[in-house]
Amino acid sequence: MSKLGDLGARLHRGEVGYDFIGNRKIWYGLSVLITITAIVALAVRGINMGIEFQGGAVFTTPKTDVSVSQAQEYAEEASGHDAIVQQLGNGSLRIQVAALDTEKSDQVRSDLAKDLGVPEEKIAAELVGPSWGEQIANKAWTGLGVFMVLVVIYLAIAFEWRMAVAALIALIHDLTITVGVYSLVGFEVTVGTVIGLLTILGYSLYDTVVVFDSLKESTKDITKQTRFTYSELANRSINGTLVRSINTTVVALLPVAGLLFIGGGVLGAGMLNDISLSLFVGLAAGAYSSIFIATPLVADLKEREPAVKALRKRILAKRASAAARGEDVLDEAAEAAVVGPRGARRGRAEENQR
Amino acid sequence: MVALTGGMFWSGHTTPRLGIDLAGGTSITLKAKAEPGQESAVNETNMNTAVGIIERRVNGLGVSEAEVQTQGRENIIVNIPKGTNEKQAREQVGTTAQLYFRPVLTVAAASPEPAPTASGSTAPKPSASASAGEKKPATPTATASTQGRALTEALKAPNATGTPTPTGSASATPKKDATPQATPTPDAATAALQQKFTTLNCLDPKQRTAAAEGTKPTDTIVACGKNAIDQWEKYLLGPAEVEGRDVDDAKAAIDQQSGQWIVDMSFTDAGSKKFQAITSKLSQQTEPQNQFAIVLDGEVVSAPRVQTTLSANAQISGSFNQQSAQDLGNILAYGALPLSFDTQSVDTVTAALGGDQLEAGLIAGAIGLALVILYLVIYYRGLSFIAILSLGVSALLTYVIMALLGPAIGFALNLPAVCGAIVAIGITADSFIVYFERIRDELREGRTLRPAVERAWPRARRTILVSDFVSFLAAAVLFIVTVGKVQGFAFTLGLTTLLDIVVVFLFTKPVMTLLARTKFFGNGHPWSGLDPKRLGAKPPLRRTRRTAPATVEPKEA
């Protein structure tokens, strides 16, 4: 602990810190690169939709001793797609396989018959429709749209529109990356995946809001002081919440990583892979984007505001003159961990500026 | 919390109901019935409409995780998780097939035996031919409801005496012997139908179902239905004038004026015209021929009287209670299946995820959780005690509430929901991580623990509330707007978010305050996780900062 705790203390005092804002172009570039890769992957490879979305074939076998998981393995081998296997009350199996047309389904049927050791004609094959109908999908899209509008309005009121815009961009960034990874890995998109994506939606914004909250607090009296520019304060607030961000991300990612690498990888539970992959990528992207994308974006937008711009000019001028006098301004700056007294009235300060 | 846990054990529902992917359930296969002469009705469009309607019906609140899909050209599979009221679900998917509005020709008591009956008739109504404008939902429109209700009202009315149409209706007050010698309207039933009507015994379930079998919408039919006081009656009904698909929407509401439950319904454009035609005709008639029967799969679910010509909007009033009004609203709104179905098979199915998958998931989750605890202990030391306890309380509450919601609203836990709950660990943990970091920041400012705990709280609280609000907003919007599994997921997310706030406010904070008073934490024992020295706190002096030597040259500001 002591090392990280010590680091936390130094981050808190602003003694150490990574210049997130100053290096933002690097991170923007990285994100653009990843996003483009994701989009290209989507365009080239497409998305492998599971049976819930596009239907497929269903095979009903006669009574058999083959276990459900064994049958699932056979079916996935024979078809190359995810299979859903259920045992019916009379001991027969119902095997659903995605993306099969009639021709392919005949072949899978004969393969299955061989694997399961039952006569081929005893296996009934039929095409099934999606259980995740268009209606559900449309409503999910509507929900997503409504949510985004509401959350932008809420953030614009609770914080300001710049933060709302930045949060939204970060969110879209996270979702694109996650979908892109799906396309690259080639996992089938199931209902679980979609729900994983929606979870990210909530989590990504949640994480961004926590960082913004500290940003808002540290910059609320910005026009009253002449030590720091907005970008510098933003940077300090990111560094100040860095320990929290790391801790939260680790705590959120550990169980998901357990599901993905141990449950899915080692123990071979296929269905878990779908869900935990989208969660894992999304959570990681969400934590990354709130620090490296969302906050620098706010700083960028904010620096365009006349008052903030003027402040920056003044500060730079002051520093230049101080440097000319040979004082170590930065040292003084580092000492001033607290920006303005709490509860001071802001309005007056702004008046003074004018 | 104790009360909730107690409630769980008291109610005997100690495990959450599992979704079909985890626990299996029942699979019902429905086969579309091709009506003679309408074989082409069994097409993709109609099948998909039917899937949508059945989905809405079986999913109820949207958290029961039922699955509905087409199979082949003419089958629909409905999968229902274990523990659902299977009989009810089967009724829901099977029976709500076809809905027609038919004019009532005659009504009689349930059985052919001359039972003590009363003549049911109502006050003469001028049936204002005022062609009630297109949209006048608020005006008193179709009143009363089933014959029974009309009757009860009629008996109370002063002029409720026999009228030319001697219809029989079971009632508590026997008044007048009326063997169901219904006098049909001139253009109505043939003698055979009359015979069928006379001999029909609605008290016999077999006869009830047989009555409506093999009839076409254009036939005059006999049918059974229950009246407001839950007694069977039989009806002679004319050809269908309006179909279920003509109904645009219907829902239960409370009448602003009378404060009673009513059912509001609106029709599609085509439906409005048809409904206008039937109501304008019926409003001229006398009891009971001024009624139209709402017939669902051959059974009369309601038979409201018509007082005036109606068009796009109508309301059905009468002595509804909330339940009966909602039932009728549901039937009108969702009962409009374009096809009728036979239940072909009912099977139990095992979990789609084999037991080993669930086991693998649980093992993996447990390992992940152990790593979380290990991390917390290493980083937060003594504080991790509070963190782990908070997580434990949160997990317990989630579990208990899920277990209780199973029977209450049909909530079923499926694998995605389990994963959602695992992510919730992150959100819950974040709340106290935010708080702990705030406390540590205050300690670094040179405060002692007790004031630090109190000063850190308002700031941490704001952060927690703001961020949880966003999470909850996502859940609420998704729950309201979407259907099916997404709704089930949104429910889990909303629940865990709310619980997070509850736990932080009512558990983490008070426990933190209490522990701050102990020696171990208060004096900043090295293992408490709050040791000022380890945290690199400034000496607890006032404003000595300026004079303190600058420790490290900052890379930049």
What pLDDT is recorded for position B219?
Answer: 74
Domain for residue A295, yes or no? yes
Q: Do B376 and B301 fall into the same domain?
A: no
Residue with tokens 């002081």: A225
Angstrom CA distances, B105 to A206, B118, B150, B288, B297, stand at: 63, 17, 15, 7, 18
The answer to whether residues B127 and B249 belong to one domain is yes
Q: What is the predicted pLDDT for the residue at B435?
A: 86
**pTM value?**
0.62
Query: A97 has which bridge partners?
Result: A57, A83
Q: Examine the domain organization and report whether A187 and A268 are in the same domain.
A: yes
What sections of B147-268 are H helices per DSSP? 147-156, 191-199, 205-212
Residue A186 sits in the same domain as residue A302:
yes
pLDDT in tens, A229-247: 888 888 888 887 888 888 8
* Helix H or strand E segment including B362: helix B355-380
Q: Which chain B residues touch A236 with a CB distance below 8 Å? A: 557
Confidence (pLDDT) at A350: 39
> Using CA atoms, how far apart are residues B202 and B207, in angstroms rounded to an integer?
6
Q: Is the pLDDT of residue B35 over 80?
A: no
Residue B548 in domain: no
For residue B521, what pLDDT band results from cuts at 50, 70 and 90?
A: confident
Band of residue B273 on the pLDDT scale cut at 50, 70, 90: confident
Token pair in block for residue A133: 């109908």
pLDDT(B14) > 70: no
Residues 6+ apart with CB under 8 A from A138: none
In this model, does residue A84 exceed pLDDT 80? no
In a domain, A343, yes or no: no
pLDDT at site A221: 75
Q: Which of A16-20, A99-103, B180-184 has the lowest mean pLDDT?
A: B180-184
Provide the pLDDT for residue B430.
Answer: 79
pLDDT band at A96 (very low <50, low <70, confident <90, very high): confident
Q: Which of residues 7-66 of A touch B (CB under 8 A)?
A: 8-10, 12-17, 19, 22, 55, 58
Round to whole Å and give the CA distance between B225 and B107: 10
The Cα–Cα gap between A321 and B170 comes to 102
CATH of the domain at A175: 1.20.1640.10
Strand order in the sheet with B313-320: B247-254, B261-267, B313-320
Residue with the bigger pLDDT between B31 and A131: it is B31
**Same domain as A164, residue A263:** yes
Q: Do A131 and B361 touch (CB under 8 A)?
A: no
Higher local confidence (pLDDT), A228 or B144: A228
Sequence-ordered alpha helix ranges (H) in A290-305? 295-302
pLDDT of residue A194: 78
Considering the domain architecture, whether residues A6 and A32 belong to the same structural domain is answered as yes
**Quick check: B388 pLDDT over 70?**
yes
> Could you tell me if B288 and B332 lie in one domain?
yes
Does the structure show a pLDDT above 70 at B126?
Answer: no
Q: Is the pLDDT of residue A1 over 60?
A: no
At B175 the three-state DSSP class reads coil
Check the CA dihedral B422-B428-B432-B434 and report its sign.
Answer: positive
**B29, B30, B469, B486: best mutation site toward chain A, by most A Cβ within 10 Å?**
B486
Enumerate the H helices of chain A as residue ranges. 2-13, 24-45, 51-54, 68-79, 102-116, 134-158, 161-185, 191-218, 230-240, 242-257, 270-289, 295-302, 306-325, 329-335, 346-353
Asked whether B64 and B411 are in contact (CB, 8 A), the reply is: yes
How many residues are recorded in chain A? 354
The neighbouring-strand residues paired with B233 are B109, B225
- How far apart CA A197 and CA A191 sit, in angstroms, is 10
Per-residue pLDDT band at B92 (split at 50, 70, 90): low
Mean pLDDT throughout B438-459? 82
Domain boundary among A128, A163, A181: A128
Q: Which residues in chain B are contacts of A12 at CB distance < 8 A?
A: 440-441, 444
Of B104, B49, B118, B81, give the one whose Cα is nearest residue B412: B81
Same domain as B118, residue B67: no
- Judged by CB atoms closer than 8 Å, whether chains meet at A16 and B555 is answered as yes
Contact status, residue B328 vs residue B15, Cβ threshold 8 Å: no
Cβ within 8 Å, pair A85-B550 = no
- According to DSSP, the β-strands at A56-63 and A124-128 are antiparallel
Same domain, B211 and B78: no
Q: Are residues A109 and A183 in the same domain?
A: no
Mean per-residue pLDDT, A182-206: 78
Say if B70 falls within a structural domain: yes
pLDDT (mean) for A6-26: 70
Could you report the per-residue pLDDT of B40-82, keeping only the tens digit for each? 667 777 777 777 777 766 665 555 667 777 776 777 877 777 6
The DSSP letter of residue A121 is G
Higher pLDDT among residues B152 and B343, named by residue: B343
Residues on chain A touching B536 (C-beta within 8 angstroms):
5-6, 8-10, 13
Least confident interval from A264-278, B40-54, B96-110, B425-439: A264-278
Give the pLDDT mean for B117-131. Answer: 35
pLDDT of residue B164: 37
pLDDT for A248 beyond 60: yes
Domain CATH code at residue A75: 3.30.460.30
pLDDT of the residue at A250: 84
B18 occurs within a structural domain? no
Residues B298 and B223 sit within 8 Å (Cβ to Cβ): yes
Pair B416, B379 in one domain? yes
Per the CB < 8 A criterion, the answer to whether B221 and B215 are in contact is yes
Query: Which of these three, B336, B363, B390, is where a domain ends?
Result: B336
The pLDDT-based confidence of A282 (bands split at 50, 70, 90) is: confident
Are residues B327 and B405 part of one domain? no
Whether B316 is covered by a domain: the verdict is yes
As for how many domains chain A has, the answer is 2
Phi, psi of A82 (to 5 degrees): -65, 140
Is A92 found in the same domain as A165?
A: no
Q: What are phi and psi of B261, to 5 degrees?
A: -70, 135
Domain count, chain B: 3
Name the residue of chain A whose CA is nearest to B465's CA: A210
Q: What percent of chain B lies above the pLDDT cut of 70?
A: 56
pLDDT top residue among B337 and A303: A303
Mutation to test the A interface, candidates B357, B372, B431, B465, most A Cβ within 10 Å: B357
Q: Which residues pair with B170 in a beta bridge?
A: B117
User: Binning pLDDT at 50, 70 and 90, where does residue A143 land?
Assistant: confident
At B44, which CATH number?
Answer: 3.30.70.3400
My answer on whether A120 and A264 are in the same domain is no
Cα–Cα dist B333/B244, whole Å: 8
The mean pLDDT value of chain A amounts to 75
**Chain B residues touching A138 at Cβ < 8 A:** none
Instruction: Give the torsion through C-alpha atoms of B416, B418, B422, B424, to 10 deg.
Output: 80
Q: Which of A55-59, A156-160, B384-388, B551-555 has the lowest mean pLDDT?
A: B551-555
> Three-state secondary structure along B99-124?
EEEEEEEEEEECCCCCCCEEECCCCC
pLDDT, position B532: 65
The answer to whether residues B349 and A89 touch, using CB atoms and an 8 Å cutoff, is yes
State residue A342's pLDDT score.
43
Are B186 and B323 within one domain? yes
Residues for chain B: how many in total?
Answer: 557
Backbone conformation region of residue B316, classed left if phi is above 0, alpha if psi is from -120 to 50, else beta = beta
pLDDT at residue B111 in the model: 63
Q: Strands B221-226 and B299-302: what pairing? A: parallel
Element (H, E) at A185: helix A161-185
Which pairing describes strands B299-302 and B292-296: parallel, antiparallel, or unpaired? antiparallel
Residue A313 belongs to some domain of the structure: no
Question: Does one domain contain both A107 and A232?
Answer: no
Q: Is residue B291 part of a domain?
A: yes
User: Residue B358: pLDDT band by 50, 70, 90 thresholds?
Assistant: low
The reply to whether A278 touches chain B by the CB within 8 Å rule is: no
**Residues B503, B485 within the same domain:** yes
Predicted pLDDT of residue B353: 58
Assigned token pair, B335: 């009962």
Q: Classify residue B549 as exposed, middle or buried by CB count within 10 Å of its CB (0-12, 13-18, 19+).
A: exposed
Percent of chain B with pLDDT over 90: 0
Phi then psi dihedrals of residue B124, to 5 deg = -60, 135
User: What is the C-alpha separation between B353 and B24, in angstroms, rounded?
Assistant: 9
Inter-chain contact A244–B363, Cβ cutoff 8 Å?
no
Distance, in Å, from the CA atom of B214 to the CA atom of A51, rounded to the nearest integer, reads 37
Backbone angles phi, psi at A93, to 5 degrees: -110, 145
Range of the structural domain that residue A115 is part of: 56-128
Q: Taking residues B310-315, what's their average pLDDT?
A: 76
Instruction: Provide the 8-state DSSP code for B64.
Output: S
Contact A275 B419 (CB under 8 A): yes
**Whether residue A65 sits in one domain with residue A86:** yes
Residues B83 and B107 in one domain: no
What's the whole-number mean pLDDT along residues A151-163?
87
Q: What is the dihedral of CA B486, B487, B490, B496, to 10 degrees?
A: -120
Q: Average of pLDDT values for B430-444?
A: 82
Q: Which residues from chain A sit within 8 angstroms of residue B469, using beta carbons? A: 154
Residue B527 within any structural domain of the chain = yes
If asked whether residues A112 and A190 sit together in one domain, one would say: no
The predicted structure's pLDDT at residue A75: 74
Of B324, B349, B374, the last residue of a domain is B349
Give residues with Cβ within 8 angstroms of A3, minimum separation 6: none
As a whole number, mean pLDDT of residues A193-206 equals 78
C-beta atoms of A89 and B354 within 8 A = no
pLDDT at residue B300 tops 60: yes
Comparing A295-299, B142-146, B390-394, B516-520, which segment has the lowest mean pLDDT? B142-146
Q: Does A226 touch chain B (CB under 8 A)?
A: no
Give B313's strand partners: B266
| Dihedral (CA of B244, B248, B253, B255) sign | negative
Task: Compute CA distances A241 → A14, A234, A237, A291, whole Å.
Answer: 11, 11, 6, 9
Q: What is the pLDDT of residue A265?
A: 62
Cβ neighbours of B455 in A, within 8 Å: none
What's CA B242's distance to the chain center, in Å? Answer: 27
Query: Average of pLDDT values for A10-24?
Result: 70
Candidates A5, A147, A243; nearest CB to B534: A5
Residues whose CB is less than 8 angstroms from the CB of residue A7 and which lie 6 or more positions away in sequence, other chains included:
A16, A243
Residue B325 has a pLDDT of: 77
- Tell me how far apart the alpha carbons of residues B1 and A319 are, in angstroms, rounded to a whole number: 58
Q: Do B534 and A6 touch (CB under 8 A)?
A: yes
Q: Let me know whether B288 and B380 are in one domain.
A: no
As a three-state string, the secondary structure of B453-467 is HHHHHHHHHHHHHHH
Instruction: For residues A130-154, give the mean pLDDT.
Output: 78
Neighbours of A23 (CB within 10 A): 13
Helix H, strand E, coil C: the string for B494-508 is: HHHHHHHHHHHHHHH
Q: What is the pLDDT of residue B98?
A: 65
Least Cα separation, residue B253 to chain A (angstroms): 25
Task: Name the CA radius of gyration of chain A, rounded.
Answer: 27
Cross-chain CB nearest to A151 (options B365, B473, B536) = B473
Q: Please state the φ and ψ torsions of residue B399, each to the nearest 5 degrees.
A: -60, -50
Structural domain that includes position B69 = 25-93+345-349
> Which residue from A89, A130, A248 is facing B426, i.e. has the nearest CB?
A248
Name the amino acid, one letter, at A40.
V
| pLDDT, mean over chain B | 68
Are B156 and B281 found together in one domain?
A: yes
B97 vs B466, more confident: B466
The CATH number that applies at residue B483 is 1.20.1640.10
A273 in a structural domain: yes
